[in-house]
Structure 1
Amino acid sequence: MRLRTVVPTLVAFSLAGGGALFAASYAVSGIERRSVEDVRAALVAKGHTWAVVMADGLQLTVSGTAEDEATRFNALSVAGSVVDPARVIDRMGVATPEAVEPPRFSIELLRNDGGVQVIGLIPASADREALIGRIRGIAGDAEVTDLLESAAFPAPRGWQGAVGFGLDALDTLPRAKVSIAADRVSVTAMSDSRAEKRKIESDLARRAPDGVRLALDIAAPRPVITPFTLRFLIDEGGARFDACSAATEAGRDVILKAAAEAGLDGKIDCTIGMGVPSPDWPQAVRLGIEAVSGMGGGTLTFSDADISLVALQTVSQADFDREVGKLEGALPDVFALRAVKPEPPEEAEPEAEGPPQFVATRSPEGLVQLRGRVPDDRTRAAIETFARARFGAASIDDASRTDTGLPAGWGPQVLAALDAMALLHNGAVVVEPEHVELSGVSGVKEARAEAARILAAQLGQGVEFDISIRYDESLDAEAGLPSPEECQERIGAILAKRQITFAPGSDTIDAEARETIDQIADTLRQCTDVQMEIAGHTDSQGRESMNLGLSQARAESVLAALMARRVVTSNLTAKGYGEANPIADNDTEEGREANRRIEFTLIEADAPEDEGAVDTAAETGEEDAAATDEDAAEASGE
């Protein structure tokens, strides 16, 4: 009976306990689920979509990879704000930071009459003091404003060469902006003329280091052309310009197109400048060229708004009248036309004297002879004075004679002819009453055009002229620079008279050698495009490694001395050879003295640059510093 009572009681207790356990388990599961959902929603709301939340009983595990430590800490704080922080287990990681991209190093150099401004970012490893010192040397007495900043990153490849080239460019341009990066140098500058612009562009292009792109924007002011002159001819030699001027590129194109249609071949140089008498200049020139072409030849001369058209003697009267009539009717009002059809020359009587002449000749040696007729003694004195001023007093041989029957304006006509002849290295000018003929050789590339301007402006109406000038590049002061071989020979001759000497065992140049350095500097200013090596040599006394370092230091001292004399040194390389290349016997004092020398040698165009020269100098300098007193004593003969 008692057993029947106990069993149901135990069953009841078991059922009650199981229900309680189930209820408790269900409650805990619900708490975990809600906690996970709440924490996940809070993390997503704060942008932490990367975080993963999982329940482990009443504890919550937050995992995932944060982009940085601050983000991880923020995610942990967000989770702790939703549930008890003690319940949050941090299993989050932090992404490995990517390498920081180095900045782009660059320098902006702005130079004008007021000084130089330096702006930019350079590597911290760069020698800032040396850079600013070089810029101060370029600026001279002008102010240098240093706005450079630095960053602790290694210098990019090509940086040093680009900076050196950029500073060389700044040194040659008094008004410029130079932008320097490791792979690019940009130069914006003003030049005084188109010829100087071409020279600057050519020089910079040749000197640009390998791997550095060069961008040039060199502006050249348009020259003032006075008078505004154009001279076009068609004769037995074909069509050609003696002088060509235009105010704009579009106007030049109109003129050149008309000349090409009239039979002109080859490259044509037409100067664009200021001073045009009318915006209708291109159209007027085109009409004039078409008239000359329609007549089968002749000479067309524009001097400002005055036009002279001289037909060939062979042109028919009908063709002459037709073309001149068309031209007169089409020309803009501002232009005045004078057209001439020469009559065939009459046969002179056997005893008749030819037309009066004045002839001036200039020899290659510079002797100027004046022959022919002048109207009076006063005019002869004026002509001789003018010739002495233009050609030098000691160069004039005046044998002209007076003739009172000369036409009016003869004196100014002769002076204009002598003025034009001054453009010749050698040649002659012949003056006749209605004609001037100039011929010869010149080292001035634009001599023919300039002579045409002089004669067109100064000769009176009715006086025609012919110009035949051959340009000889060897006479051009700019083009006639010494060749690389001549540069080396000149420096060798200077060193043959007196070598560059140093204090014993030192790289300090002797005071007595300064004149030699000055002479070499003068020569190198004409050889800025010639790649040369400054080679240092020693005798065989002392240790070989020490001699190598000493020779390198001495070669660099010579380079520094030339730089101090404002010589462009971008084409020069200093290298020490020590005792390796003797030219005399080291067993005698005379031989050792001959071996202790500085030489300038040409670097072949395809020879690789000795990029390690500076590094080698630094290394050998350290070795020198560590040399013993005994080594220094051995070097005392140096």
Structure 2
Amino acid sequence: MRISHILPIFAAILAGVVLSLAGATIGAKVIETTSTKAVVNELNLQGYDWVDVQGDGLQIVLTGTAPDEQTQLAAQRAAGHVVDPARVMNVMNVVQKQAIAAPRFSIEILRNDSGISLIGLVPAAWDREAFVERLKKASGTGSVADFLEQADYPAPENWPETTDFGLDAMALLPRSKISLATDQITLTALADSKAQQASFERALTKALPETVPVELNISAPRPVITPFTARFLIDESGPHFDACVAETPAGHARILAAAKAAGIDEPNCTIGLGAPSGQWAAAVETGMRALQQLGQGSITFSDGDVTLIAAEGTSEALFDEVVGELQADLPATFTVHSTLLRPEEVADEDSRPEFIVIRSPEGQTQLRGRISDDRSKLATEALAKAAFGTQSLYSAMRVDEGLPSGWSLRAMAAIEALSELNRGSATMSEDTVAIRGETGNPAAKANIARILAEKLGDGEDFTIDVTYVKKLDPILNLPTPEECVARANDIVAASKIVFDPGSVELNVAANDTLDRIAEALKDCEEVEIEIGGHTDSQGRETMNLNLSTQRANSVLDGLLMRRVAGVDFVAKGYGESEPIADNDTEEGREDNRRIEFKLLGETAPEEAAAAQTATGQDATGDEAPAPNDAVAETTGSDATTADSTTEDTTDSAPEADGDTQ
């Protein structure tokens, strides 16, 4: 066949192929555009407007960033509803999720008599086994039930500090629940007494972590009081309680209301266990009203025994009427013993025997007066040694076999009552016991009333003149006068009080120092402190004295403004008269320019001894004992002086200002 015949056929075939390819391309483009628009419309309707839709031939490519995997798949399914799902290509991203936050790690420590339990969630990398071992060692028990769970996250920043405090607290508190977490520590515990409660709180406060808040809830259960005692008096000083207890909060409120109605401004009553009757508060209120009818005297409730003593001069008719009404009004469980005091007859010394116990401020004790026999004397001395110490006892008793029955037992009750005081005396006669003195225990007066009510028996009269002195209270842990002075001097030694040149006004640095001194002295009670101003020897002596006096007064004014209530300050200028270093050197002159604090108001022991020797008597008016056996009655100590230096900027004209302060 000729080639001229073949070429037209080949050209026709080629043209058909080209036209077919062009038609297919156009058709695919139309399908791509139509599908893309349809998918975009559907996704917008479904709220997936964040999806970017692109056509790639017959395929639909989905791009964009989905908020989560679930939304990403939902967008893909929506596109598959419009076109064949096989044509949909999902290349969408998902928002990167934040790292899962670590859980709140915490430990709850439960401790009671049966052992310790641990509950909570702790970091997996933390050495819990070592913690449990430390727990056993600190508590002295091998019984630790470990119910802790672990999570594989890093320990929080304050975790070691938190767990260390938990160990310290648990070792201290035998009955407690301690919740440890780095954002809060909560501690709940029981103490056996108010004193133990205060001791726990003081120890825990010192151990508190600096970066974790701590909530302390330590409570003491109601004390068991035996005998259950209330003692109400009306005397020259007005109505007051020597002892007051209530059986319930409602009874407590009732007794306090009766006390306020009787004229006691701030009555105080303890809620305790051991009341002999559920009508205790009603009985005490009835007794208080009875005594108010008499005007003066005392009424003592000791369990079910009630002792009413009317003062001298009370009308017998009124006394009989009040006693009769009291017996009728009291519940049946209470028994009344009543006494109307008669005027005492004048008697000589031998006809009025006495037994006296004196406890001095130094802790020394004297036993004087009469005792029934040698056996009772030995027993009384043994009891006093047990109560006050073997090294501090001086005995000057004499045996008198003609003493009333029960004398020795009453003498021992007086010793036991006096042991509640820091210092004071117990004076016992045939018809009464008088306890006087000072104590650092706010419950001492009530304790004495209970002791005497129980030991002396029904109908016995006694008086209690006891003063609570805050600085003697061991629970408050108040500083001694010497410690107060040392605190002030330590502060000025570390941060010197500075005056501007030629000025007596305190500058900013000096005020900061006085702030710290005031804070250090806030717990001081009944202390007399001298603020002494000193200069070097440069300048005229008179000018130096005036300058030191003015600066001491400036310090005094600064401390008074800060209301240090327990300290009585006195300012005194010494000028250049008491140097502590060489005034010929600059270093020495700087040491001499100072403010120092000195303890005042204390009597030196040798002065007290000289006064006693001169009079031949002790504080009670009795003849002083022999020197080798004597007990000093007068308290005192050497005045304590601690010097500390103050610093002042150098004055350009020392002659004009007195010194280089």
TM-score bracket for the superposition, by shorter chain length: 0.5 to 0.7
Alpha-carbon distance in 2 for matches of 1:477, 1:154: 42
When residues 91 and 485 of structure 1 are mapped into structure 2, their CA distance, relative to the original with a 3 A threshold, is farther
Alpha-carbon distance in 2 for matches of 1:485, 1:123: 50
Aligned-pair CA distance for 1:328: 2.9
In structure 2, the partner of 1:296 is: 295
In structure 2, the partner of 1:307 is: 306
- Partner of 2:225, secondary structure, is coil
In structure 1, the partner of 2:467 is: 470
In structure 1, the partner of 2:427 is: 430
Give runs of aligned pairs for residues 300-379 of structure 1, distance below 5 A.
300-317=299-316, 319-346=318-345, 348=346, 354-379=351-376
Contact 1:66/1:92 (CA < 8 Å) preserved in 2? Answer: yes
Give runs of aligned pairs for residues 140-539 of structure 1, distance below 5 A.
140=140, 142-146=142-146, 147-153=148-154, 155-156=156-157, 158-205=158-205, 207-210=207-210, 212-266=212-266, 268-317=267-316, 319-346=318-345, 348=346, 354-392=351-389, 395-404=393-402, 406-480=403-477
Alpha-carbon distance in 1 for matches of 2:480, 2:98: 55
Alpha-carbon distance in 2 for matches of 1:37, 1:375: 118
Aligned-pair CA distance for 1:242: 1.4
Contact 1:234/1:298 (CA < 8 Å) preserved in 2? Answer: yes
When residues 260 and 215 of structure 1 are mapped into structure 2, their CA distance, relative to the original with a 3 A threshold, is same
Give runs of aligned pairs for residues 555-594 of structure 1, distance below 5 A.
none
When residues 308 and 95 of structure 1 are mapped into structure 2, their CA distance, relative to the original with a 3 A threshold, is same
Alpha-carbon distance in 1 for matches of 2:479, 2:282: 45
Contact 1:125/1:155 (CA < 8 Å) preserved in 2? Answer: no
Contact 1:425/1:442 (CA < 8 Å) preserved in 2? Answer: yes
Alpha-carbon distance in 1 for matches of 2:381, 2:204: 45
Contact 1:138/1:171 (CA < 8 Å) preserved in 2? Answer: yes
- Partner of 1:197, secondary structure, is helix
* Count of residue pairs the alignment pairs up: 457
- Partner of 1:403, secondary structure, is coil
Note the alpha carbon deviations across 1:148-174, whole angstroms, 9 max, x for none: 524424625x54443333332223223
| Residue type at the aligned position of 2:288 | I
- Partner of 1:185, secondary structure, is strand
Aligned-pair CA distance for 1:447: 2.0
Q: TM-score, normalised by structure 2?
A: 0.59
When residues 209 and 374 of structure 1 are mapped into structure 2, their CA distance, relative to the original with a 3 A threshold, is same
When residues 419 and 35 of structure 1 are mapped into structure 2, their CA distance, relative to the original with a 3 A threshold, is same
Contact 1:63/1:90 (CA < 8 Å) preserved in 2? Answer: yes
- Partner of 1:408, secondary structure, is coil
When residues 60 and 257 of structure 1 are mapped into structure 2, their CA distance, relative to the original with a 3 A threshold, is same
Alpha-carbon distance in 1 for matches of 2:387, 2:481: 34
Alpha-carbon distance in 2 for matches of 1:304, 1:397: 35
Contact 1:357/1:372 (CA < 8 Å) preserved in 2? Answer: yes
Contact 2:48/2:75 (CA < 8 Å) preserved in 1? Answer: no
Alpha-carbon distance in 2 for matches of 1:467, 1:246: 20
Gaps of 5+ in 2: 1-26, 487-661
Give runs of aligned pairs for residues 47-66 of structure 1, distance below 5 A.
66=66
Alpha-carbon distance in 2 for matches of 1:263, 1:193: 31
In structure 1, the partner of 2:564 is: none
Aligned-pair CA distance for 1:216: 2.5
| Residue type at the aligned position of 1:332 | P
Q: TM-score, normalised by structure 1?
A: 0.61
Aligned-pair CA distance for 1:360: 2.7
Aligned-pair CA distance for 1:293: 2.7
Alpha-carbon distance in 2 for matches of 1:382, 1:261: 46
Alpha-carbon distance in 2 for matches of 1:483, 1:415: 32
Contact 1:306/1:336 (CA < 8 Å) preserved in 2? Answer: yes
- Partner of 1:433, secondary structure, is coil
Aligned-pair CA distance for 1:179: 0.9
- Partner of 1:188, secondary structure, is strand
Contact 1:69/1:94 (CA < 8 Å) preserved in 2? Answer: yes
Alpha-carbon distance in 2 for matches of 1:485, 1:376: 45
When residues 332 and 199 of structure 1 are mapped into structure 2, their CA distance, relative to the original with a 3 A threshold, is same
- Partner of 1:208, secondary structure, is coil
When residues 460 and 50 of structure 1 are mapped into structure 2, their CA distance, relative to the original with a 3 A threshold, is farther
Alpha-carbon distance in 2 for matches of 1:412, 1:388: 16
In structure 2, the partner of 1:625 is: none
Alpha-carbon distance in 2 for matches of 1:132, 1:484: 45
Contact 1:367/1:397 (CA < 8 Å) preserved in 2? Answer: no
Aligned-pair CA distance for 1:132: 4.9
| Residue type at the aligned position of 2:458 | Q
Aligned-pair CA distance for 1:422: 2.3
Note the alpha carbon deviations across 1:233-290, whole angstroms, 9 max, x for none: 2211222221111222221121122112211123x44222211000111111112222
- Partner of 2:265, secondary structure, is coil
In structure 1, the partner of 2:88 is: 88
Computed over aligned residues only, the root mean square deviation of the Cα atoms, in angstroms, reads: 4.3
- Partner of 1:301, secondary structure, is strand
Aligned-pair CA distance for 1:339: 2.8
Alpha-carbon distance in 2 for matches of 1:127, 1:438: 60
Contact 1:53/1:60 (CA < 8 Å) preserved in 2? Answer: no
- Partner of 2:337, secondary structure, is strand
Alpha-carbon distance in 2 for matches of 1:136, 1:345: 68
In structure 2, the partner of 1:97 is: 97
When residues 67 and 294 of structure 1 are mapped into structure 2, their CA distance, relative to the original with a 3 A threshold, is farther
Aligned-pair CA distance for 1:460: 2.1
Alpha-carbon distance in 1 for matches of 2:168, 2:149: 19
| Residue type at the aligned position of 1:149 | Q
Contact 2:230/2:300 (CA < 8 Å) preserved in 1? Answer: yes
Alpha-carbon distance in 2 for matches of 1:177, 1:483: 36
Q: Once structures 1 and 2 are overlaid, which stretch shifts more, 395-404 or 246-255? A: 395-404
- Partner of 1:217, secondary structure, is strand
Gaps of 5+ in 1: 1-23, 490-638
- Partner of 1:241, secondary structure, is strand
Contact 1:233/1:298 (CA < 8 Å) preserved in 2? Answer: yes
When residues 483 and 126 of structure 1 are mapped into structure 2, their CA distance, relative to the original with a 3 A threshold, is farther
When residues 325 and 107 of structure 1 are mapped into structure 2, their CA distance, relative to the original with a 3 A threshold, is same
Alpha-carbon distance in 2 for matches of 1:393, 1:98: 75
Alpha-carbon distance in 2 for matches of 1:238, 1:180: 52
Aligned-pair CA distance for 1:450: 1.1
In structure 2, the partner of 1:620 is: none
Alpha-carbon distance in 1 for matches of 2:91, 2:315: 109
Alpha-carbon distance in 2 for matches of 1:303, 1:76: 90
| Residue type at the aligned position of 2:174 | P
Alpha-carbon distance in 2 for matches of 1:352, 1:400: 14
